[in-house]
Structure 1
Amino acid sequence: MADLRLIKGDITTFNGDAIVNAANTGLVGGGGVDGAIHRAAGPELDLACRKLHGCPTGEAKVTPGFNLPARLIIHTPGPIWRDGSFEEPKLLRSCYENSLKRAVENNCQTVAFPSISTGIYGYPLADACQIAVSSIRGFDAPLEVTMVAFDERTYQAFKLAMAD
């Protein structure tokens, strides 16, 4: 079972095996955490992502971490929230599960996640936190997982979800 912890901070400074990038399906650096990871990792990341030819929503692909302290970046495009009836919960759960699978396949022991789909993609924060926590806690592998909340609102929402 994955061990889950929560911190508030900048995921690009996480010193561990892997960080997860809340990517877009083209794997081209966008806004939010995706843009921050691309800027911090350096221009080599863009080249590596182009060679992956995108990634479907809910799936996950891996690149080196380049200039980041983390060895790897696991890219997973989250669902864009419409109204919840377009398989958004299933797709969000897949983001977490597939990212954890890529971590195991790449011999990771520590992995950090941002809050996936809760920024510009508009996923309701409390619901997204519940899905993240249950997906990670339900994953059967000896991983140390850190949720990295960028702001106080996200930190408090994850704290609440982890208390349930």
Structure 2
Amino acid sequence: MLPRVQNTLRFVAIAFNHYLRQPIYRTFLIGKMSQIEDSTDSDSETVAELRRCHIYEPSRNSVLRDRDIYLKKSLFEIAEEADWQISEVLTISDLPTWPEYAKALERTEEANNTSAANANTDLSKKIVLWQGDITMLNVDAIVNAANDSLLGGGGVDGAIHESAGPKLLSECETLNGCETGDAKITAAYLLPSQFVVHTVGPKCHSPDSVVSHHSEMLLTSCYRTCLDKVLEHNEFNKRSPDTASKDEERPGVSAKDDDSNASISKRLQRFEPPIRSIAFPCISTGIYGYPKEAAAEVALKTIREWLDEHPDELDAVIFCVFLDSDVRNYEKLLPVYFPLPDYPQSRSSEDET
């Protein structure tokens, strides 16, 4: 039985050699190769053939090493390597908060009167609406509206991969794709941000622009899962390597435990910076066809609910839009989900008049 399996695998390895960059084939062959190598009577020729094809699978150790290197680089070092200017990059301090934005549009009164009962000054100050290129934001994380392969595509996905450089693709190749509604975090490499949160939105090509409940739930999952992954990342990296090492120095452990602790300590030395600011594009509203206003409502509703549950986990959430129509949708819906209280600035300006 085993020789037949080996011959079949040899044929598969050769026939699909040029498809190995696709996660479905790569995962299948890597799993089968492990089974054959573990067998006592494995055919060395089959193993050699699979190993030859396996060269397309990037070494996870090298990917983790590159990730560590780039997360430790300064913005100036990244700019020099990526050949863009620091002056081209926007930081959080360069972007007006939602209360400042609304005041500039003279829409503060409208925002006040929409739903005053749900007004939360602290949360509203965390929200930013900005029209521009998400790849030039110096925030902790930007969200990529990816496809399920995570290997790049068109639109914002292609722009992020192009700007981040080939090492982003190398890390994505180790993730075995991503399910619709799920999210995965990578380093940002040559981007001015530190991390990229990849999420796969639903395809919604309805001729009458009616969104199914299933599609709405999947899009909701995209936004919530991105934020949950950020929370998970921050929880995992709360302890510094020094603190972790001290915690592990406890008496009464065996030599076997020492070896286990050494590996844990080594893993904990990959301490990564927390994510306190995140920028979202308009997920699924491009070629995936999700109606733009409906998508904006899902985004705002989901993020407002998540921030109500975790008010101290993020300092800024940026809605990064590209089209004028998206700007109008967010300007219309932001007062509904992030109504503004009556600010002292407004009263003081009235007193001056």
Common topology (TM > 0.5) = yes
User: Which residue does the alignment assign to 1:94?
Assistant: 221
Deviations along 1:109-144, one digit per CA (max 9) or x if unpaired, are 100000000011000001000000001111122311
1:59 deviation in Å? 0.3
Matched, 1:129 2:296: yes
Following TM superposition, by how much is the alpha carbon of 1:86 offset from its aligned partner in structure 2, in angstroms? 6.2
Partner of 2:286, secondary structure, is: coil
Q: Secondary structure at the match of 1:138?
A: helix
3-state SS of the aligned residue for 2:185?
strand
1:158 aligned residue: 330
- Name 1:41's counterpart in structure 2: 164
Post-superposition CA distance 1:54-77 (Å, at most 9, x none): 000000001000001111000000
Greater relative contact order (Cα < 8 A, sep 6+): 1
Distance 2:323 2:212 in 1: 28
Contact 1:58 1:91 in 2 (8 A): yes
Q: Which has the higher helix share?
A: 2
The equivalent residue for 2:147 is: 24
Write the distance in 2 (CA, Å) between the matches of 1:93 and 1:75: 15
Separation in 2 of the partners of 1:42 and 1:100? 25
2:202 alignment partner, one of 79, 82, 90 = 79
- The equivalent position to 2:275 in structure 1, one of 108, 131, 142, is 108
Contact 1:4 1:137 in 2 (8 A): no
User: Hey, what's the Cα distance between the residues in 1 that align with 2:275 and 2:196?
Assistant: 11
Unmatched tracts of structure 1, length 5 or more: none
**Count of matched residue positions in the alignment of Structure 1 and Structure 2:** 164
Q: Percent identity?
A: 43
Q: What corresponds to 2:317 in structure 1?
A: 145
Could you tell me the TM-score, scaled by structure 1's length? 0.95
| In structure 2, C-alpha distance between the alignment counterparts of 1:30 and 1:55, rounded to whole Å | 14
CA distance, structure 1, for counterparts of residue 321 and residue 332 of structure 2: 13
User: 1:151: how far off?
Assistant: 1.9
More strand by share: 1
Q: Quick check: 1:12–1:68 contact (8 Å CA) kept in 2?
A: yes
The answer as to whether partners of 1:17 and 1:71 remain within 8 angstroms in 2 is: yes
Cα deviations by residue, 1:8-28 (Å, 9 ceiling, x for unpaired): 111001111100000001101
What stretches of structure 2 of length at least 5 have no aligned partner?
Answer: 1-121, 234-273, 337-353
Larger gyration radius, structure 1 or structure 2: 2
Q: Note if contact 1:81-1:123 (Cα within 8 Å) is conserved in structure 2.
A: yes
The within-5 A match list for 1:34-73 is 34-73=157-196
Separation (CA, whole Å) in 1 of partners of 2:281 and 2:155: 10
Q: Distance in 1 between matches of 2:330 and 2:174?
A: 34
d(CA) in 1 for partners of 2:130, 2:286: 18
TM (norm. structure 2) is 0.45
1:150 counterpart letter in structure 2:
F
* Distance in 2 (alpha carbons) for counterparts of 1:156 and 1:35: 25
Mapped partners of 2:164, 2:128: distance in 1:
24
Distance in 2 of aligned mates of 1:79 and 1:73? 19
Deviation per CA, 1:138-162: give whole Å up to 9, x if none: 1122311000001211111112121
